[in-house]
Structure 1
Amino acid sequence: MTKKGFAGKWLFWGVFVLLAIAAVVVTIRPDPVWVDLAPVTRGPMEITIKEEGKTRVRHRYVVSSPVAGYLHRVLLEVGDPVIPGELLTEVDPMPASTLDARSRAEAEAKAQSARSALNSTRQKVAAAEAEADLAVRELARLQALSDDHFVSDERLQQAKAAADRAKAILRSARFDEEVMAHELAAARTRLEVSAARANGNGAVERVPVRSPVNGSVLGIVRKSEGVIQAGEAILELGDPGALEVVVDVLSFDAVNLQPGIATRLTGWGGGTLDAVVRRVEPVGFEDMSALGVEERRVQVVADITSPTDAWQSLGDGYRVDAEFLLWRSDNVLQVPESAIFVSEGQHQVFRVVDDRAVLTNVSVGRTNGFHTVIQDGLGEADSVVRHPDRQLEDGSQIGVR
């Protein structure tokens, strides 16, 4: 055999042996576990509670007949605007039924009570004006400091919520003042009609029924003319520009809500609106879910704080999605919640190092159901395994899907 043939033979067998060794290595090496990866990121995160709610005119006023008599036909329609003092309808008082001594004393007491209530409401208006003025000045002061980075965004948001809440309380107090003034006028009208009858004036002039508030007609209880009793409802009025949002929240979530919490309103057909929680009802009620499960819920009331122009197409009883902001941070280290599991009381993840899954202990913070804050154990450049499989172990070879 020549020297050249001998070298070729050794080359052939050498290549054959190498291929055989490679085949054995590939055969005995375990297959990688195929996984999905997620990066450890740093960025904003928030925790919210989202529920369906509806809009509601904050203040409703039922206009009733001040005296018994004959009601004239109501010409207004639902949605018609009204202003304070506007004539809604008229009532012809009945010629009979002058007040006896006892009834007159009761009417005088009601008039005095209405007068006292009006004075009390005016004091509340003055107090609400002072509170609103203070809240607005405090907000302006903090905004000036915020421009120089002396105030945190959270403190500024709290001041803004306080100012919005104070303005809403002031609007409510002024509405109550208008209503109390109308109540006093109605009580005086009844006394005047009774006095005219007692003095022998058989023909008592027609009694006008006027609007006590600025707003719109929300409902008509009595439209047709006919006999009506004193105190019987005729119209329902309210200001559609003073809407509130009512949300039925699970009692489990309601314990985390309090007045002043920022709220976002979506799903109503327009852009996102800002609102603030005004009241969390202290009493819960039982409700049935869409799946037929009994739930305990609590009513939460929020005031819309966005400019009126942004939601002027909203009306009474419209559907909205309310998202209550419990917590927010603009810069936190976080991973998908699906990457974290608990083993022997310790939160752990599989961190990826050189195509292997390394079991890593982590310290976690808040979670919103989708992402979890990482306080210790991971870095921003790391990647973790999402939905780790049971066959995945510490040091397992992995492949990315």
Structure 2
Amino acid sequence: MKKKIIGAIIIVIVLGAAAFFMMNRGIVVEVEMAAVTQGNIAKYVEELGVVKTKNQASVYADTAGRVTDVLVKEGEQVNTGDVLVRLDSQQLSRQKRELEAQRLGIIAQYNEATQSIDEKEIEKLELEIEVIERRIKEAKRVVENNKRLYEAGAISYEEYNITVTSLEAEQSNLEGVQLDLELIKKPISENISAQYEAQLRQLDIQMEALESQSGDFVITAHMSGTVLMKAVEKGSYVQPGVPLLEIGDTEILYIESDLLIGDIANVEVGAPVIISNKDLRIIDLQGTVTKIHPQAFSSVSDLGIEQKRIKVDIEFEGSVAILRPGYDLDVNIIIESKENVLLIPENAIFQQAGRDFVFVNVNEQAILREIEKGIESQRRVEIVSGLQKGDQVIVSPSGELEEGVQIKSK
């Protein structure tokens, strides 16, 4: 009994397969096919780069002021030391004149305070002191005599007191004249002299500072090169630290590109770069990554998404006369490449159960073939195993295509 059932099942299977074959025998599906080729493939990090100059510097004003002259234009060649911009220096001149006037005034005061001693005045006061001293001597003698007369009752107290008062007046007069003589003989105080000298030194320092600023009103080039940017006009007012001009050496150019953090891990110094720009008709210009900057920075994408990026420097191999600083270029940094490998279009591949397959044309029939992929780049895929050079694979297979179906090329 069991043998009869098994036999019946086998018959059903054979008949089903035969029926499927007979049904598909009359169906022919038109497909697009591509041959498996042999060639080179490379995997890229694609980004935008900006042309920069190797030697580039901003020109700033060291002092605030109104611009009286701008002597250069954008694109003009300048040499080190060339005058680029002049600022109004009238205010500086006024400040210098004010300091000079202050200095002359202090010198006059100092000279007055330190003038030489008047010898005649000293002699006059000394003679006056001698006369007063003689009068005091005489007054003392009179006081002594009147004191004895008063004690003897020969004169009144009032008469005696008049002579005492006269003596005291002469003594006071002597003290005053002696003080005048001491003052006229005494030189100027050291403290007062030090004050005048300190004021003069302070003015000298201020004058030196103004002299050092004289060069700030004439702005010169610190390097030779081309004026790349001019952000100053005659009559404008500039502040210190604001860039007025950009000067760069346009003979030495390089590309600066900002790569995403996720891409930089695969990029190394020395990696080859393919550079292009359709508008400038630059095709497959060769370059090399020369520097990966050490620090990342944040930027916001066109969609408003904050991204972490790292700058990369790329040098050209050879020169391109058409390039100028600020131009945008497409850069493809090669992170992996292979030569003489099997290649097919990426749209020939599809997945089933997590594995990669293609349909191959075998005697005008679609035959399913499992493959192993390698590098994928620019809509091409490297085939590691599963195909041979010259095999015809079906591109963009439709849903109606099944294994064993008859096919013909469109």
TM-score relative to the length of structure 1: 0.59
The structure 2 residue matched to 1:220, chosen from 219, 230, 252, is: 230
- Change in CA separation of 1:301 and 1:241 when aligned onto 2, cut-off 3 Å: farther
Are 2:330 and 1:321 aligned?
yes
Q: Which range moves more in the overlay, 84-93 or 313-322?
A: 84-93
Mapped to 2, the partners of 1:231 and 1:341 lie a distance apart of: 61
Are 2:37 and 1:36 aligned?
no
Identity %: 24
Are 2:302 and 1:304 aligned?
no
Measured after TM superposition, the shift of residue 76 of structure 1 is: 0.9
The answer to whether the 8 A contact 1:90-1:209 is kept is yes
The answer to whether the 8 A contact 2:365-2:405 is kept is yes
The answer to whether the 8 A contact 2:41-2:375 is kept is no
- Change in CA separation of 1:69 and 1:53 when aligned onto 2, cut-off 3 Å: closer
Measured after TM superposition, the shift of residue 225 of structure 1 is: 5.4
The structure 2 residue matched to 1:285, chosen from 298, 310, 314, is: 298
Mapped to 1, the partners of 2:24 and 2:220 lie a distance apart of: 94
The answer to whether the 8 A contact 2:259-2:312 is kept is no
Mapped to 2, the partners of 1:254 and 1:85 lie a distance apart of: 42
Structure 2: stretches of 5+ with no match in the other structure: 1-20, 98-200
The structure 1 residue matched to 2:248, chosen from 204, 216, 238, is: 238
- Change in CA separation of 1:258 and 1:32 when aligned onto 2, cut-off 3 Å: same
- Change in CA separation of 1:239 and 1:196 when aligned onto 2, cut-off 3 Å: farther
Q: Any idea what the Cα deviations from partners look like across 1:60-118, whole Å, max 9, x if unmatched?
A: 322234456775412111111112222324554824389xxxxxxxxxxxxxxxxxxxx
Measured after TM superposition, the shift of residue 372 of structure 1 is: 1.2
Q: CA RMSD in A?
A: 3.6
Q: Which residue pairs with 1:263 in the alignment?
A: 273
TM-score relative to the length of structure 2: 0.58
- Change in CA separation of 1:346 and 1:219 when aligned onto 2, cut-off 3 Å: closer
Measured after TM superposition, the shift of residue 369 of structure 1 is: 4.7
Q: Any idea what the Cα deviations from partners look like across 1:190-249, whole Å, max 9, x if unmatched?
A: xxxx99953968995952432111211122343325776665644322222333323344
Number of equivalenced pairs: 278
Mapped to 2, the partners of 1:376 and 1:83 lie a distance apart of: 63
SS in 1 for 2:347: helix
Mapped to 2, the partners of 1:372 and 1:221 lie a distance apart of: 51
Quick one: which amino acid aligns to residue 362 of structure 1?
I
Q: Which residue pairs with 2:404 in the alignment?
A: 395
Q: Any idea what the Cα deviations from partners look like across 1:107-148, whole Å, max 9, x if unmatched?
A: xxxxxxxxxxxxxxxxxxxxxxxxxxxxxxxxxxxxxxxxxx
SS in 1 for 2:69: coil
- Change in CA separation of 1:43 and 1:200 when aligned onto 2, cut-off 3 Å: closer
- Change in CA separation of 1:347 and 1:229 when aligned onto 2, cut-off 3 Å: closer
The structure 1 residue matched to 2:75, chosen from 76, 79, 83, is: 79
Quick one: which amino acid aligns to residue 205 of structure 2?
A
- Change in CA separation of 1:285 and 1:224 when aligned onto 2, cut-off 3 Å: same
Quick one: which amino acid aligns to residue 81 of structure 2?
G
Quick one: which amino acid aligns to residue 267 of structure 2?
L
The answer to whether the 8 A contact 1:46-1:328 is kept is yes
Structure 1: stretches of 5+ with no match in the other structure: 1-24, 99-193
The answer to whether the 8 A contact 2:228-2:247 is kept is yes
